[in-house]
């Protein structure tokens, strides 16, 4: 019906250019996305890569009309995976898949578990940093889509490249210099560690990090706090309730970090986009970048506990 109305308007010269989907808000349900067809359909970026055998998950089954740009394209190098990509790199990635900053854009991911949401949140944050203003995440990902009996298409798709001009904003970005000023007392902000408690305590570290520990003066608020034991994140009302109970509020700067800016992206998304707090930033390189740069950490005694456990098997 929508296509018929659109074709009729075009025939009478009443519709000159296509109208893209109205904003879903930061989250879109499978039902909402499935109902958006024709001119109302958003641009869907599927960020899945390959399965254990190396086969493309996108080609094995994807939402009709979507394009594939694996999560790794939005990440830094192996030695510092949380590092923000360059503007030139992102322009090429998004231009190659046909992205448009003026079109509603949805990020689709697997949705296998709670941690998986961080990939979608990190891509969402990167797009917002790049000037995209109408972005949503498919809540629950492809797994929830298929669980609800919605269809998938298979095979590769033909891409229609575009030209995308990227200029990063620093509104949602905390870089290392800012972190050092916060730690040194020159600037004021709450540093929020999104990792599980054992990381914050220094009992465990990321393989690429120089040593265990956390940012001085930090507090931890684990990324899984926004989920109710399933890979579907809380809605805005619930997120506001969780944020308020944890003491997060407007009027203070919050900086979310983790190991590589993955789990931290979930905290950033929930606090900024769902709870609606007005000054939330993400420190993308997080503890891997910070520790490898040789800066002082807090809770480093956990290293000795870890070594004892390894030696004694305790």
Give the contacts of 160 (CB within 8 A, at least 6 positions apart): 98
Q: By percentage, how much of the chain surpasses pLDDT 90? A: 86
Residue 18 has pLDDT above 80, yes or no: no
33 with 152: CB under 8 angstroms? no
What is the mean pLDDT of the segment spanning 286-298? 97
pLDDT for position 14: 45
Name the phi and psi angles at 190, rounded to 5: -95, 125
Residue 16 has pLDDT above 60, yes or no: no
**Sorting pLDDT into bands at 50, 70 and 90, what band is 1?**
very low
Q: Which tokens is 273 given?
A: 């986009």
pLDDT for position 11: 44
Mind listing the pLDDT tens digit for each residue in 253-263? Answer: 999 999 999 99
Task: Name the pTM for this structure.
Answer: 0.90
**Sorting pLDDT into bands at 50, 70 and 90, what band is 10?**
very low
Q: Where in the chain is the domain with CATH 3.40.250.10?
A: 2-147, 176-312
Give the contacts of 90 (CB within 8 A, at least 6 positions apart): 74, 126, 130, 164, 166
Half-sphere exposure of 311 (CA within 13 A, CB side): 6
- Of 42, 38, 39, 37, nearest to 24 by C-alpha is 42
Residue 9 has pLDDT above 90, yes or no: no
Tell me the CA distances in angstroms from 129 to 170, 239, 314, one per residue in order.
Answer: 7, 22, 45
Dihedral of CA atoms 160, 161, 162, 166 in degrees, nearest 10, equals: 140
What is the mean pLDDT of the segment spanning 84-96? 98
User: Superfamily assignment of 176-312 in CATH?
Assistant: Rhodanese-like domain (3.40.250.10)
| Spatial separation of the C-alpha atoms in residues 244 and 238, rounded to whole Å | 10
What is the average pLDDT score of the chain? 91
pLDDT for position 305: 53
Mind listing the pLDDT tens digit for each residue in 187-224? Answer: 999 999 999 999 999 999 999 999 999 999 999 999 99
The CATH classification number of 2-147 equals 3.40.250.10
- Which of the two residues, 115 and 37, has the higher pLDDT score? 115
């Amino acid at each position: 019906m929508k296509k018929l109305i659109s074709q009729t308007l075009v025939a009478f010269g009443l519709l000159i250019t296509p109208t893209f989907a109205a904003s879903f808000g930061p989250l879109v349900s499978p039902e909402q996305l499935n109902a958006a067809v024709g001119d109302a359909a958003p641009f869907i970026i599927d960020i899945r890569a390959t399965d254990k055998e190396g086969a493309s998950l996108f080609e094995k089954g994807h939402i009709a009309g979507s394009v594939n740009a694996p999560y790794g394209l939005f990440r830094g190098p192996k030695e510092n995976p949380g590092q923000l990509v360059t503007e030139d790199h992102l322009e090429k990635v998004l231009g190659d898949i046909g992205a448009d900053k003026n079109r509603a854009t949805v990020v689709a991911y697997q949705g296998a578990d709670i941690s998986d949401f961080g990939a979608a949140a990190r891509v969402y944050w990167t797009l917002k940093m790049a000037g995209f203003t109408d972005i949503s995440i498919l809540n629950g990902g492809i797994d929830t889509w298929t669980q609800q009996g919605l269809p998938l298409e298979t095979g590769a798709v033909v891409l229609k490249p575009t030209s995308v001009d990227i200029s990063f904003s620093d509104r949602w970005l905390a870089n290392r210099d800012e972190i050092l000023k916060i730690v040194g007392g020159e600037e004021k902000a709450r540093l929020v560690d999104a990792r599980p408690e054992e990381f914050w305590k220094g009992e465990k570290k990321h393989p690429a990090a120089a040593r265990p520990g956390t940012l001085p003066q930090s507090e931890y608020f684990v990324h899984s706090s926004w989920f109710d034991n399933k890979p579907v994140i809380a809605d805005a009302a619930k997120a506001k309730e969780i944020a308020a109970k944890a003491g997060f509020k407007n009027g203070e700067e919050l900086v979310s970090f983790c190991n590589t800016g993955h789990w931290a992206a979930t905290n950033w998304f929930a606090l900024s986009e769902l709870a609606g707090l007005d000054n939330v930033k993400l420190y993308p390189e997080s503890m891997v970048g910070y520790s490898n740069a040789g800066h002082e950490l807090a809770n480093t005694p956990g290293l000795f506990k870890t070594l004892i456990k390894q030696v004694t098997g305790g």
